[in-house]
Structure 1
């Protein structure tokens, strides 16, 4: 097959994939709209999709909501970046030094299952309830998918490649840098992609449970306790959270497809499909 034919085939598959997704969204919105318009559900609890989308559009023009959104995204970005800076080196260390992995395994397995939301009271008492609370919990929750995918990726490194480099006189750190890290990079990227969703969930959840000041979660919380509850505002806020998650995931999938096509081809998996399982929080 010629290069042009392969390009056209790939383009047609991409178009078909996005078309199916668009149809799914339209059908879901139509069902949402029908439930509200038919009176099957109280409009005060579940407004029609058209009202929710209209309100979501109005929120973009609201400076107060934009401030809420910017605050949430700041906490999300800082927490995710710090988690990656901690998890990748730690994963490389644990995945390449069995002695350290064995010594710390019990501690890691004890901490990993603890729900991040359960730590809100403790963290709030220690460091307060501002931006630092959200960032801390995002770091904790996002750490695990990146850490475990990094360790998982190191286990799949071709031992022949490592031995070949050692035969030329390279030792531990050099082998790790030139062979292990590039081989594990697709799995690290998958862990990071999983962590972006986890970080977004924790940011908004923490704001709803214990947020003060600004944040989309705070906006949703106060819309919920209003009398009567502003359901259109609540659902519009949820729409923007979901859209942000979709956009970020799509960008990361595109980056994976461009950077690690060779890895997906070797494993026979579709570009953008997760290469390893991550831990949800």
Structure 2
């Protein structure tokens, strides 16, 4: 209820500011017009195909990030020697802004889905990787010692205790990375200026005369997609791990 109230309040403020002429309509159209345009876009086949292209790159990049980050995180968290050997490389790569790599990746991979997927994967790896490592560190040591006392090896301890105990942290990392992945998918399209997708629609609308309404309508779509994705993942976390708060996670910038 409070969330809905906050949305209505923000909607009303934007509507009033524009209608009162405090800000020119060419800069800030009334919120009702933006919302109406966003609803109209739901019937535009070309626009929906662009949204589908963005979601396709998002899903591929996030899936690759999970496939890479979870095994690597388990390895780094389980084998201190490996962690020490690659720590400098990880700490060097992690702070690099993903959007700054767009020109380089575009030159290497060209235009199209490959560039978006590569950048989305790169940005999405870090929250999952560090959440996995952190989750391993939080595993109950008594449970691990008990299995070792009964003769279980390292792999058995990993599969029976460490991986189940780390799963909520991995899920939280995936939820964080899902938002990061959507940001990178749209931002790559906007900054690269080629291909198709929601970001391309926003970029092209920004170049059009009186295109602010379409730009904001595209932003509404991006925000709605992020809201839906996060809601689905939070619901999944609560269903799979009801004993957790659903707010665990180590945030990593893009």
Same fold (TM over 0.5): yes
**Does 2:132 match 1:150?**
yes
CA positional deviation for 1:215: 0.5
CA positional deviation for 1:68: 0.8
Partner residue of 1:250 out of 213, 231, 251: 231
CA positional deviation for 1:211: 3.7
- Name the structure 2 match of 1:165: 147
- Name the structure 2 match of 1:11: none
Q: Where do residues 29-48 of structure 1 align in structure 2 (5 Å cutoff)?
A: 29-48=11-30
Distance 1:91 1:211 in 2: 34
Deviation beyond 4 Å, 4+ runs, structure 1: none
Q: Where do residues 1-281 of structure 1 align in structure 2 (5 Å cutoff)?
A: 19-226=1-208, 228-262=209-243, 264=244, 271-273=245-247, 275-281=248-254
SS of equivalent residue, structure 2 residue 176: helix
Residues matched between the structures, number: 254
Distance 1:127 1:248 in 2: 28
The range that moved more, 133-142 or 118-127, is: 118-127
CA positional deviation for 1:167: 1.6
Q: Judge conservation of contact 2:102–2:192 (CA < 8 Å) in 1.
A: yes
Aligned-residue CA RMSD in angstroms?
0.8
Q: Judge conservation of contact 2:99–2:184 (CA < 8 Å) in 1.
A: yes
SS of equivalent residue, structure 1 residue 261: coil
TM-score by length of 2: 0.98
Q: Judge conservation of contact 2:189–2:195 (CA < 8 Å) in 1.
A: no
Distance 1:220 1:241 in 2: 10
Q: Judge conservation of contact 2:189–2:199 (CA < 8 Å) in 1.
A: yes
The range that moved more, 187-196 or 252-261, is: 252-261
Distance 1:272 1:246 in 2: 15
Q: Which runs of 5+ in 1 are unaligned?
A: 1-18, 265-270
Q: CA deviation digits over 1:83-112, x for unaligned, max 9?
A: 001000000000100000000000000000
Q: Which runs of 5+ in 2 are unaligned?
A: none
Q: Judge conservation of contact 1:148–1:278 (CA < 8 Å) in 2.
A: no
